Each structure stands twice: as structure tokens, then as C-alpha cells.
Structure 1
Amino acid sequence: MTVSRVVELEGHIIDSGMMQSAFSIVMDLGGDFDVEEFDIGRQKDQQSYARMRVMAEDHETLHSILHELHQNGANPADPANATLTPAPDDQVVPEGFYSTTNHPTQIRYEDEWVEVERMEMDCAVVVEETDDGARAYTKVLNAVEEGDRIVTGEGGIRVQPPERPRDRSGAFGFMQGGVSSERPSETTIRQVAEAVAETKREGGNVLVVAGPALIHTGAREALARLVREGYVDGISAGNGFAVHDLERDLFGTSLGVNTDTADHARKGHKHHIYTISEIIRAGGIEEAVESGLIESGIMYQCHQQDVPYVLAGSIRDDGPLPDTITDAVEAQNAIREQAHDADMVLMLSTLLHSVAVGNCLPSTTKVVCVDINPATVTQLLDRGSAQAVGMVTDIGTFVPTLAENLLD
């Protein structure tokens, strides 16, 4: 017995590869398809539409195919209302709950499409009634409460992956394709600078996710300038990033190495511990700046310009600093708030924090990931941050050049 279902694809489905992906999914999972309607947009600003009947030998196979198609933006042509099931307990989702992608999503409720708020991957969708009508939003597992009405199954859900239209003009045009070490770095950095400037002109929020290598490679002063001049609206980092930034102010070193001369300071291996001790003695970063103990650097400028930062701790942290969030769930929630406020994210030489922030971002947020190791970009993409573009280069070159383009 053959079973079938009709799905639709809309948008720039050829340029973005959605159409090809849909065909491959059906064939790879043992199904068949018949394109019943195909209307191709013939101008750069015109979208395309395809109506495709998907066939399989049994319901289980068809369900598997439809699930994968749905994740890639192919939606049922005859949507029913979404199924809502109460959560059986706190932090427990009902069987068959819908696990979100990071793409813009709508659910069908009482024959109306409702936009899902605060999109991020691997969450449940909760629907509640308000005075203004139905509201749908994501919840992570640890926030689920008993009785929450959670979307289950995959009926009545519409997903819209990011598209890549043919028109690549404007400051964000370079983001329509991947960035690699083979492209001219100065040209790409200039394009990133234009994208940052455009984000700020439009009142957008730029989040910087940074690792300690940024301090080690001598890019500290350049990022501090960007914070001072208002191009950075938030910093997401770890304990080590802040420690070495502060160490540079107190001792002129980062992890015991002079970042100007690359010389190892005598007993420099103790500097980061001394730094942590002095900041604890002062009562925290804010108190250290206010007292005059810290007079320069990124954390100094964050305090002076009232730029918020999240320092998420890890099991290997020395100290840590009083400002470091050591509770993992609390740190996740703080990162999540930063991520949802961001319109553009610069991920600078940190794999773990890049993946952590990337998990919280909707696919509509523009992401530029810079690292000397191409595996960092690969892992970010593999985790689902398909909107990210990567630049493989030395962070010590990238940040100062970015600052020159924006400020000079």
C-alpha cells in the first residue's frame, strides 16, 4: 500500500538549495515524489513556489520523510491545527513533543497562524491564552512547568529556513555565501565592518563572543576601542577572557606573556592568579574600576560605557572572578537573554562559547565566526547555526583591522 502527502515550498527555494535538499531527502529515505506544480521566479526579487506529492510504502516511512522535509522548510499543503498536550510534570515534556529548529516558526491554533516567539533550537513550544489572543513561545526543558500546553507531533507547524536570494548587494551581501581563508581577508574584514556599521545605523544590537586568544594575540586594545566608541552592545565570554584582560592592565602580560614583545615575564605564570586575587580583594570588576585599580582594557570600557557582559564559568576556571556565573543553568539563561537581544554576533576565537551562544540564536540573526582553526566554524555549522559565515584567520589581525575600518 502506498501512502502520500502533499507539501509546499515557497521563497527563494532554488538559490537557497531548498528544492534540491527536498528531493534528496525523499530519495535518501526510500520515498518517491511527484512535482505537481512549479512556478519559478524569473526576477531577482521574485520568489518561487513548488507543490510536491511525497509517497512512501508505509506511514512510518512517510512520517520520517515528512519530518525531515519539515525541518528544511517544506510544509503540508493542508495544515491542521497543532496538537497541544499538557506537560505531565515540571521539566518533563509530553511524549512526541515538537523539538524546535532555530528557524522562524508558526503554529496553527484555532485555524490561525501564530508566530512562535523567542526562537531557538531544541526547545518545546508552549501555547497560552492571553487577553490579546493566543501566544506561542519556546521553553527550554528546565523551564517547563506542569500543565504547560506543549505542541506535540508535527501537524499545524510551519517552518521558514533562511533564504539566499540572488541579489547580494548591500552591506550583508557577503553573508549570502560562505567565507573562507581563500578569500582576500582585507576585503572580507571591510565587508564585516560595513555590516556592523549598518546594524548600528539601523539601531541594532551587536554582541561579541570572545575567547582568551583575543587577549593573547594583542587584539585587546582594538576591541576596547570598539566598546568605547559604541560598536559593541554586549560581551559574552568566559572567566579566562576577563582574567587575562585584567592581567594585561595590572601586569602588562596575558597568561604571563608580554603581548607587545612576546617575552615571558619573570614569574609571569603567577600573574593571572595574582589578578584574580586582587579583583576578589576589590570586590569585583566594577569595584576594581571604580577604585582606580583597573584603568584600561575591555572590561574597563564595558564598565565605563555601561556595556553588559556575561562571564560563564567552567569546571577548569581558576578563581573564578566574583563576576563569573558559576551555576551552569543561570549562565545559560544569561547567555540566552543576550542572544535574543542580538541582531548581529561576532564570534571571535572561541569554540565552546560560540557553540553555546549559537544554540540560543534564531537563524535570522547574522553571525560571523572568526578563528584560525576551520574546525571551529565547521562545528558551529554542524550544531545547526546554518546562518553563520566563517573566516579562517588570525584574530590578532582581524580585530585591529576591523577597528581601523570602523574608526579610522
Structure 2
Amino acid sequence: MSFSIPTYTPPDFSRPELAGAPPAATEPAPAGGVVPHNFHGTSNHPEYLHLGGGRWVLAPESRMDAVLVLKGDTIEVKEARRVKQGEAVVVGRTENGEEGIYVHVDGFAAAEAAGADKFAFRTRGTRETPFSRSYDELYQVLRHDREHGYIAWVLGPAVAFDKDSRAAMQGLIESGYCHALLAGNALATHDLEAARFRTGLGQDIYSQNLKPLGHYNHLDILNEVRRCGSIRQAIVELGLSDGIICACEKRRVPYVLAGSIRDDGPLPEVVADVYRAQDAMRVHARRATTVIALATQLHSIAFGNMVPSYRIMPDGSVRPVYFYIVDMTEFSVDKLANRGSMQAVGILTNVQDFAVNLWNNLRA
């Protein structure tokens, strides 16, 4: 089956309501980290500003709950906490051109939707939904973006608790299907625990049998890595050779481990300051063309809010950012959509089965 990135259709700016729109207005930020009243808060949809004379400019990397700063004819998308005093912040809260701001929600609208009935059954994904087409699309997207995009994975520790899913994820990373990994302390800790002891939270990663004193294993590996000073050095000193984190180190795939209140240890690489972690994750959000989030609700929502629904490519073309969230229930998928990531595609399944299925279909 051939695959091509969907064509983006920009707004028709000759429409009377857009042709006659005023230029977007700005006001100076009154202080660092403070924006003017009536600031325009962004979505993750393509957003255009009218800069006057009929020139509409697409904001790069628009994402949830940021603001737009004008620097000449350049639009910068920034979090309010990063705005500097005096910067020209776009103001206005209408979205259809009334204030020179236009939010474009159907640039990638599927052609097949044309002519669809106004009423239809089964219009949203549930546990009854067959996901064959979603899988087929994902295989194609990943093959394309391995060479032409930037694939970011957001992983919960469940992926490391099973021998086969852990091996599948290792294979995907080593085969170039991962350009960045976002996770917490737990994913890395239990993956390294599996590399060292063949357990996850004390359970054998294949049989799931509890090992004697196995509840110490994740604490022991945390202690050993901290003694070594870094994950990379621990891999060398402890002779670790398999798993997700080893594959990232082997392939020099960057990973960001964001800390949380629950963390044991944590590992030396864990970023404890939430805003530093947010900034580190945003580096990859700004490059991502495909995101796959597995069994980690809060991390998925956090990264989802950082990711635009589109990407402006070096040649000036606009393409969608694919976002897949994989979980056992609709709750995580709905929660993400309700936080603004309407483009997210949910696949409701066991994440271990998902990882193995993906690897079995992508392996050379």
C-alpha cells in the first residue's frame, strides 16, 4: 500500500471576512513572565496572523496555552513564563479573522469525509472499534518518518515489565524507529532492573513469578547507577547489554526522564525541576512529526500539550503531526482529547501486545 503525507489546504484569504480583516494587534508585556490583558492563547491548530496588506503568516509550532510574540514579521510561540518585559504580545480572543487572528481547523480534513451523512453510528473509538486501519496507517507513518521525520515515544514503565514488549521496544529503537524517548524515572529504573536482574518490581519479566527479595531489585539498581554516577557508566561497569535504555545509549537516541513526587532514587539523569524537564521535553516536541504514547496518562497529556498538530517543513510545506495514544481504556484517550489534543488517535489494547505487534510488522 503506497503512503504519502496528506496535503495541507490553507485558508482562502480572499474570502470577504478575511480579506477585510484588520492587522493583528499587540501590546508590550508589562513584566517578565507576565502578559497583557486580553492576550491571545494558542491552540495546537494552525494559527495565522494578519500582518497588514493582506499578508497572513502561519505561526510556527503553535501549541496549547502559549502566546504569540511578534518580532517584526516573525512570529514566536512562547509560554507566558518565558515572555520578556516589553515584548510585543498578540492580543485578541476571536479566531475567525475579526482581530487579525485566524485558527484553521480543517487543513488536513480527510477527503473521505466529504458527502458523509450528518448522522452515523460508531463515530468515535471505543473498545469495540477495530483498529486494523490504525495499525496499517501507523506502520506506513513510521516507515516514512524513520527517514523523513522525527519519531518521539512517550513510555510508561509497563513496557519494561514484559520480556517481549521490552525486546520489541529495543528492536524498534535499534532499527531507527525512535528519535527521542520521553519517560519518567520508573521506566528507566525498571528497564535497567530487567537488564540486571531479569525482573520488573521483583517479578520475573517472562513468567511474572515473584523472586525472593525481588522487591529490593529496583532499589539495588538505583543505588548501583548512582554509585557509578550515570546510566551510561553503569551500563559499562555492570555489563548491561539489553533493553530500552541500553538501546538508546547504543544508538545515541536522546531521552528525557522527568521527575515526579513518587520517585525512588532517582537515577542521576532524572530532571527533578519540573520546568527544566518541561523545557527539555519541548526540545523534542518542537521536532516531532510522529508521537506514540504508551500507558502513561499524565506524561502523554503533558507532551500532547507541547506538540503542534502540524509541522512546517524546511521546504515550506505543511504536514500533520501524527499522535497515537495506546492504553487499555478510553479514559486516557478521552482525557488527552479533552485537554486539546483532538488529533490524537487512540488504540485501545494492552501495550505489551501493541509493542510486539508493531515490531513484528516493522522488523526487516
Q: Which has the higher Rg, Structure 1 or Structure 2?
A: 1
Q: Compute the displacement of 1:193 (Å).
A: 1.6
User: Could you say what secondary structure the match of 2:111 adopts?
Assistant: coil
1:357 aligns with 303
Q: Which residue of 113, 121, 125 corresponds with 2:64?
A: 121
Distance 1:121 1:278 in 2: 39
Q: Which amino acid aligns with 1:366?
A: Y
Q: Which of 160, 170, 173 is 1:215 aligned to?
A: 160
What is the distance in 1 between the residues matched to 2:9 and 2:289? 25
**1:348 counterpart residue number:** 294
Deviates more, 1:216-225 or 1:84-93: 216-225
CA distance in 1, matches of 2:38, 2:32: 17
Q: Say whether the 8 Å CA contact 2:258–2:274 is kept in structure 1.
A: yes
In structure 1, which of residues 98, 105, 110 is the aligned counterpart of residue 40 of structure 2? 98
Range that drifts further, 186-195 or 306-315:
186-195
Deviation at 1:47, TM superposition (A): 10
Residue 257 in 1 paired to residue 196 in 2?
Answer: no
Unmatched 5+ stretches in structure 2: 1-6, 94-98, 114-122, 311-320
Q: 2:51 aligns with which of 109, 114, 126?
A: 109
Alpha-carbon distance between aligned partners in 2 of 1:102 and 1:354, rounded to the nearest angstrom: 15
Mark the CA change 1:205 to 1:379 in structure 2 (over 3 Å): closer, same or farther.
Answer: same
User: Structure 1, residues 206-265: CA drift from partner, whole Å, max 9, x if none?
Assistant: 111110111124411100110011111110001100000000011110111111001011
The corresponding residue for 1:37 is none
Go from structure 1 to structure 2 and tell me whether the alpha carbon gap of 1:242 and 1:156 turns closer, same or farther (over 3 Å shift): same
Paired with 1:83 and 1:45, the residues of 2 have a C-alpha distance of 27
SS of the aligned residue for 2:20 comes to coil
Higher relative contact order (CA 8 A, sep 6+): 2
Instruction: Identify if the C-alpha distance between structure 1 residues 159 and 298 changes in structure 2 by more than 3 Å, giving closer, same or farther.
Output: same
1:240 maps to what in 2? 186
1:138-173 Cα distance to aligned partner (Å, 9 max, x none): 1102101100100011411111114322249xxxxx
Is 1:139 aligned to 2:78, yes or no?
A: yes
Alpha-carbon distance in structure 2 between the residues aligned to 1:317 and 1:48: 47
Quote how far apart the aligned CAs of 1:105 are.
1.1
Which SS does the other structure have where 2:212 is aligned? Answer: coil
Deviation of the 1:187 alpha carbon:
5.5
Structure 1 portions without partners, runs of 5+:
1-43, 54-74, 169-176
SS in 2 for 1:243: helix
Query: Per-residue deviation at 1:77?
Result: 5.5
SS in 2 for 1:342: coil
How many residues are paired up? 331
Give the C-alpha shift of residue 294 in structure 1: 2.1
- State the secondary structure of the residue aligned to 2:245: helix
The equivalences for 1:303-342 within 5 A come to 303-342=249-288
In 2: Cα distance, 1:115 partner to 1:395 partner: 37
Superposed, 1:393-404 pairs within 5 Å as 393-404=349-360
- Indicate how the Cα distance of structure 1 residues 337 and 212 shifts in structure 2: closer, same or farther if over 3 A, else same: same
**Other-structure match for 1:194:** 140
Identity of aligned residues (%): 34
Partner Cα separation in structure 2 for residue 304 and residue 265 of structure 1: 29
- Bigger drift between 225-234 and 282-291 goes to 282-291
Residues 1:46 and 1:295: Cα distance change in structure 2 (over 3 Å): closer
Matched residue type, 1:358: G
In structure 2, distance between residues paired with 1:47 and 1:101: 17
Cα separation, partners in 2 of 1:181 and 1:117, compared to 1, 3 Å: same
Within a 5 Å distance, the mapping from 1:2-401 to structure 2 comes to: 76=18, 78-111=20-53, 112-129=55-72, 134-154=73-93, 155-162=99-106, 163-167=108-112, 179-185=125-131, 188-201=134-147, 203-218=148-163, 219-364=165-310, 365-401=321-357
Distance in 2 (alpha carbons) for counterparts of 1:47 and 1:310: 34
Superposition RMSD in Å: 2.4
Q: Which amino acid aligns with 2:23?
A: N
Shift in alpha-carbon separation, 1:209–1:297, aligned structure 2, 3 A: same
Q: Deviations over 1:325-371 (max 9, x none)?
A: 00010000111111111100111111011001000011121111110
* Secondary structure class of the residue paired with 2:270: coil
Relative to the length of structure 1, the TM-score reads 0.76
**SS in structure 1 at match of 2:280:** helix
| Matched residue SS, 1:346 | strand
CA offsets, 1:244-294, max 9 Å, x none? Answer: 000001111011111100101111111111111011111111111233532
Name the SS of the counterpart of 2:271 in structure 1: coil
SS at match of 2:220: helix
Secondary structure of the corresponding residue to residue 119 of structure 1? coil
Counterpart amino acid of 1:101? Answer: S
Distance 1:245 1:253 in 2: 9
Q: Give deviations 1:90-118, integer Å, cap 9, x for gaps.
A: 10000110001111111112332222122
Change over 3 Å in CA distance of 1:46–1:146 after alignment to 2: closer
- Give yes or no for contact 2:162–2:206 (8 Å, CA) kept in 1: no
**Any conservation in 1 of the 2:146–2:178 contact (CA below 8 Å)?**
no
